[in-house]
Each structure stands twice: as structure tokens, then as C-alpha cells.
Amino acid sequence: MGTTATDGDAVILRNAAVRRGGRTIWSHGDFSIPRGTVTAIVGTNGAGKTTLLDAELGLVPLSSGTIEVLGRPAGQSNRRIGFVPQSYISGLDSTITARQSVVLGLTGTRFGIHFVTREERDRADEVLDFVGLTDKADYRLNELSGGLRQRAAIAQALVGGPELLLLDEPLANLDIASQRAVVELLARLNREWDMTIQVVAHDLNMLLPILTGAVYLLDGHPHYSSMNSVLDSKLLTHLYGTRVEVVTTPQGDMFVTPNMRLEPEGREQDTHDVHEAALFHHHDDESDNGEER
Ligand SMILES: Nc1ncnc2c1ncn2[C@@H]1O[C@H](COP(=O)(O)OP(=O)(O)OP(=O)(O)O)[C@@H](O)[C@H]1O
């Protein structure tokens, strides 16, 4: 929301827009995310959450504006960024061991013979220990549960010592205990390694205790907000197009709960009129030309 960028920011978008397949996915990205924060990226299917991560990695060109990551233009800091893609295993030979997969984070996934140095192996073991996989280091990836595979994926992203960790739906398809373990791991990373974290998520509930803010993709525009402001029932209802409630417990915990009294067709209407919806957007330049999204 047009925030003033500082050296303490990990990511800075200035009037950023992305086009893919001939159409604008999102535009007017104008915010900065401070270092040391844990940020959710939320929005409906196809809103462009993965595209935002791709843009930060410089993998998709911007159709306007700029993105700066760790003080440099997007794409130029990738060695200082750990990335956990949505389908980690599909890009890998699942018969390699957890340790081998982590070492790949240091040596690259290129083909050919690569001798692993003692140092590389020690570094891999250090990270495997941090994610709680020491006793599974020699298990093949296809022998691990989804939750443990996700931890191996995070270990691979961490092994190069990144300052920023990007995760694309790391909790998808995990049971609740495994989701908790991943969330606890992210909390420790943030707390003990001062890691700046961005995580694409559909369900905020599990992540709420560790989130400091969220980027929400709303009506084709990404916005950043600290957690207190994003957890607004009206905003979330507009964002998801269905009724969402925010509950503050006496302990101060907040939960986003879908309202179960849904209309017969299964969705409650977003009740915002166009003027109310406009209040969620605070662009300096509202010259969006109404392109199809
Ligand atoms: N390589 C591509 N070429 C053209 N269009 C693309 C490409 N990749 C993604 N898109 C389109 O960009 C839009 C945003 O996709 P993206 O994957 O970023 O959304 P998302 O919010 O992560 O969605 P989901 O919640 O379903 O994962 C979608 O309409 C998608 O079809």
C-alpha cells in the first residue's frame, strides 16, 4: 500500500505488474516487506500467488514497474533465496536419499558425476539435523511420508544458507500433525536463524501463530498488510468471495473460520458493493485500463 521502502526491506515492489499468456495476472504491486518477517501470500485459485514468487525470482518478466529482492533487482539475488516449490518430489528422482537431495541444494541438479566434499556433506547433515531428519538421512525420498519429504525439501532450500525462504503451499496435502511440524520448523527458522519467510497458503489457520503479515491478491492487485489489518472479516470475505469470520480468543489467538451457514449453492455472496471494494485498494495511480484478467 504505497509504503516507504527502507534498507530493512527484503522485498520491494514498485508499481509492478505481470502479464502471462497475453493477459495481466496482477498489477499495481506497490509495497515492501520488511526483513525478518513471516508473510503469507493469499488469494483465490489463479490469482497469481505462484506468479508473485516467480516474479521475485526473476522467472517472469514484469510488464511494468520493478521488484527488488534483498537489495537487488529480482533474479539477481537468487543464490541468497531458498525456494520450496509446490511439487518438490516431481522434479526429482525419488529414489535418491534425503541426504543426497539436500546435497543437491549445494551442488545443483545438473547431470554428471559430482564428488561431494566432506564440507558439503557436513553442511547437509547440519541442516538435516535442524529439520529433524538426522535419523532418516539415508532413507530414499519415496520411503518418507509426505511430511518428512516436505522437511527434506525445506532442508534442500536451506542448505545454501539463504536469507529469504519462499515456500509454495508447503502445507498442502499434509495431515495436521505434519502441518504443525512444518509450521514449527518455519517458526524456529524465523526465530533462530532470523530467516525472512514468504509462504503461499490457502488456509491461514495453521500459520496464524507465526505470521507477521500477508500479501493478499485482491481483484488483480497484490497488497501487503501487517497481520492485524489483514485479519478483517470484511476484507477476507471479499478476498475469498465467501463469508469468512475472524475470531479473537481470550488468549489473543485469532482464527479465520469459514461460516458454515452457507447458502444452498454452497457459497455465500460477497456483499461488498463496488465502492466498499475500492476501499481495499489504495493506489496512487488508479489508471488500470480494465484489461481482462
Ligand atoms: N507459464 C504460464 N503461461 C501462461 N499463463 C500462466 C502460466 N503460469 C500461470 N499462468 C496463469 O497465470 C494465472 C496465475 O497463476 P498462478 O499459478 O500464479 O496462480 P495461483 O494463485 O498460484 O493459483 P493456485 O492457487 O491455483 O495455485 C493463472 O490464470 C494461470 O493460468
Protein residue with its CA nearest to atom 6 in ligand 1: 20
More confident residue, 206 or 260: 206
pLDDT at 253: 53
C-beta 25 within 6 A of ligand 1:
yes
Contact 230, 213 (CB under 8 A): yes
Protein residue with its CA nearest to atom 25 in ligand 1: 45
pLDDT at 2: 44
Of 116, 48, 111, 59, nearest in space to 83 by CA = 59
C-beta 48 within 6 A of ligand 1:
yes
| AA letter at 195 | M
Protein residue with its CA nearest to atom 18 in ligand 1: 48
pLDDT at 209: 85
Query: For 144-150, what is the mean pLDDT?
Result: 92
How far apart are alpha carbons 150 and 175 in whole angstroms? Answer: 12
Of 42, 39, 34, 33, nearest in space to 13 by CA = 33
Residue 99 has pLDDT above 90, yes or no: yes
What number is the ipTM of this complex?
0.96
C-beta 45 within 6 A of ligand 1:
yes
H or E element at residue 238: helix 233-240
Query: For 10-34, what is the mean pLDDT?
Result: 95
> Domain spanning 9-278 has what CATH number?
3.40.50.300
pLDDT at 231: 65
Task: Kindly indicate the confidence band of residue 293, based on its pLDDT and cuts at 50, 70 and 90.
Answer: very low
Catalogue the E-assigned strands of the chain: 9-20, 23-34, 38-42, 62-69, 72-73, 81-84, 164-168, 196-200, 213-218, 221-226, 244-248, 254-258
Structural domain boundaries in the chain? 9-278
C-beta 20 within 6 A of ligand 1:
yes
Query: For 31-52, what is the mean pLDDT?
Result: 93
Among 18, 41, 45, 50, say which to mutate for ligand 1: greatest number of ligand atoms within 8 Å of CB: 50
Task: Kindly indicate the confidence band of residue 4, based on its pLDDT and cuts at 50, 70 and 90.
Answer: low
Q: For the beta carbon of residue 206, count every other beta carbon within 10 angstroms.
A: 15
- Closest ligand 1 atom, residue 54 Cα: 18
More confident residue, 103 or 231: 103
How does pLDDT run across 60-85, given as a tens digit for each residue?
Answer: 999 999 999 999 999 999 999 999 99
Protein residue with its CA nearest to atom 13 in ligand 1: 46
pLDDT at 279: 56
Average per-residue pLDDT in the chain? 82
Task: Kindly indicate the confidence band of residue 173, based on its pLDDT and cuts at 50, 70 and 90.
Answer: confident
More confident residue, 179 or 1: 179
Query: For 233-257, what is the mean pLDDT?
Result: 63
C-beta 61 within 6 A of ligand 1:
no
* Strand 244-248 with 164-168, pairing: unpaired
